[in-house]
Amino acid sequence: MVDNIKECALLNNGVKMPWLGLGVYKVQNGEEVIHSIKSAVNAGYRSIDTAAFYENEEGVGQAIKECGVPREELFITTKVWNDQHGYEPALKAFEESRKKLKTDYVDLFLIHWPVTGMYKDTWRALEKLYKDGYIRAIGVSNFHIHHLKDLMGDCEITPAVNQVEFHPYLTQRNLHSFCREQGIQLEAWGPLARGAVVKDKIIQEIASKYKKTPAQIVLRWDVQKQVVTIPKSVQEYRIIENMEIFYFELTEDEMKKIDSLNRDERTGPNPDTFV
Ligand code: NAD
């Protein structure tokens, strides 16, 4: 049972990644992102999820420097965006991200979306950066099973992580099983369906039993399903609320009840039609 915020998933290359992190999508570069990260780190978070696309890597970098925790205790994820695919462009994109983040290395570097016809060349760049020691683990995001099979049929290093939209209304059952079989850690983006699942009656019922909030129930469900989760908030009280998901355990029955809320509903685009 995952019992505190310091606990980590063990990735397929032996690197440890915290089960819970802070997402910073749509968080403004500068004061807003710096303040959110400092609040999170102060509360106990060690993992931060950003991307070149979020245009806040500079602020994330400043927060890393100023948060008072040694760099090696933090776990920083960033991603290569869709217009920077290809071998050379991805190498360049990584260097740009690394400089903005003001760090010697990145813990996890992901292909943000599976751009058709491009992601294999991009992956070769990630493999090189990994072998050269600039990245501790490499992975993908928004990959369906067919994208993973296609990539793995041709690559040297199996992705360590697949970060996908995942919440009670989109449980990604087949993808989750496939990733488990292949040793790829599933990671949930939009774990709260951007706020929608907190209004769910079933989740509210379970929450009242444990005197927890609906968000805490959903995030607890993530970790009990062995899915890494990265809820986003810029409000300190919610950042703290979202980490208080330890010291209680949902029953098997409650886990199944939440699973059964699935309706294959996305808040974001389907990777097959987006890129
Ligand atoms: P989320 O599901 O984390 O929802 C965030 C929203 O939920 C907040 O803006 C807030 O309005 C609300 N919220 C947060 N805590 C709450 C609480 N305790 N109670 C009630 N409401 C609460 O959605 P997200 O930000 O889209 O996803 C999380 C992170 O995943 C992002 O910040 C980003 O880092 C990552 N992400 C990745 C991709 C990708 O393509 N790889 C796409 C989207 C997001």
Cα separation of 46 and 188, whole Å?
17
pLDDT of residue 1: 74
Which ranges of 158-244 does DSSP label H, i.e. alpha helix?
A: 173-182, 201-210, 214-224, 236-241
Please report the pLDDT score of residue 260 as a whole number: 98
- pLDDT value at position 275? 80
- Tell me: the pLDDT tens digits for 28-74? 999 999 999 999 999 999 999 999 999 999 999 999 999 999 999 99
> Rounded to the nearest 10 degrees, what angle do helices 31-43 and 57-66 cross at?
40
- State which H helix or E strand residue 131 sits in: helix 119-131
pTM above 0.85, yes or no: yes
Among protein residues, the one whose CA lies closest to atom 9 of ligand 1: 233
What pLDDT score was predicted for residue 103?
98
Name which residue sits closest to atom 29 of ligand 1, judged by CA: 23
25 lines ligand 1 (CB under 6 A): yes
Instruction: Compute the distance from residue 153 Cα to the ligand 1 centre, in Å.
Output: 32
Ligand 1 centroid, distance to 189 Cα (angstroms): 7
Query: What would the pLDDT profile of 119-132 be if each residue is shown by its tens digit?
Result: 999 999 999 999 99
pLDDT tens string 78-89: 999 999 999 999
Predicted confidence (pLDDT) per residue in 207-263, tens digit: 999 999 999 999 999 999 999 999 999 999 999 999 999 999 999 999 999 999 999
Question: Of 230, 242, 238, which is closest to residue 185 (Cα–Cα)?
Answer: 230
Check: CB of residue 191 under 8 Å from CB of residue 222.
yes
Indicate if ligand 1 lies below 6 Å from the C-beta of 159.
no
CA of 82 to the centre of ligand 1 (A): 21
Q: Is 54 one of the catalytic residues?
A: yes
Nearest CA to ligand 1 atom 6: 194
Per residue in 133-177, pLDDT (tens digit) is: 999 999 999 999 999 999 999 999 999 999 999 999 999 999 999
d(CA 218, CA 235): 18
Residue nearest (by alpha carbon) to ligand 1 atom 19: 215
